Amino acid sequence: MEHQNSQTERNRYWQGLHRRLPSNGVTSAWPTEDACRARLAEIRWPDGVQCPRCSSANIGVLEKRQTFYCNACRHHFTVQSGSLFHHSRVALQLWFSAAEIIIQDHVSGWHSAGPTGHDLKDKLGISYVAAHRLKRKIIAELLLPHGGIIGECILMPDDSGDWLDDQDLDELDQFLNSMR
């Protein structure tokens, strides 16, 4: 019974995320890599770009290399720097699409555990190793409050305020541990 309840909670959680996906899909909402970068920037720095090293807002842009530089500490960085996407060779568009597929597949059947690494590999056209790594990172992120940075990027705002309480979080911790 206990088990059934936490399963129901999990289903409810994934359905909640699913309801908030953009209605025409993430590739319509953010059709290019530039659009994805702009979306990430808007989520990370709602009040304007900030240096991840010194928090200065005195920032310049090297357009061609999609690189920002800090006029205060001279640090160079990109919108991905210091985020989940740091050092990732996978394009943001693929991250966004993978997260969408993972959410969709979690609600596509009873007790669905989401797509396998092989499903993702086929749907995204990337290696199995990359797909598997992507899946683990994205699921861990989506289970964070507000769906983590990836959830904030691809999900529409939720006005119900129905985020997880402490008990839900404990259950999700157990769920995550059981996947490791």
Residue with Cβ nearer Zn ion (54 or 129): 54
For 63, the 3-state DSSP assignment is helix
Say which residue the tokens 């596509």 belong to: 108
Residue with Cβ nearer Zn ion (74 or 118): 74
Residue with Cβ nearer Zn ion (47 or 166): 47
Considering only residues 50 through 79, tell me which ones interact with Zn ion, judged by CB under 5 A: 51, 53-54, 56, 70, 72-73, 75
- Could you tell me the CA-to-CA distances from 148 to 43, 73, 140 in Å, in that order? 11, 28, 9
- Minimum CB distance to Zn ion, residue 179 (Å): 37
Question: Taken in order 16, 146, 140, 128, is the CA torsion positive or negative?
Answer: positive
Residue with Cβ nearer Zn ion (61 or 179): 61
- Which of 104, 66, 72, 103 has its CA nearest to residue 85? 66
- Minimum CB distance to Zn ion, residue 72 (Å): 5
How many residues touch Zn ion (CB under 5 A)?
Answer: 8
- Fill in the per-residue mask, 22 to 51: x = in contact with Zn ion (CB under 5 A), - = not in contact: -----------------------------x
- Could you tell me the CA-to-CA distances from 71 to 52, 55, 62 in Å, in that order? 13, 11, 12
**Positions that interact with Zn ion (CB under 5 A):** 51, 53-54, 56, 70, 72-73, 75
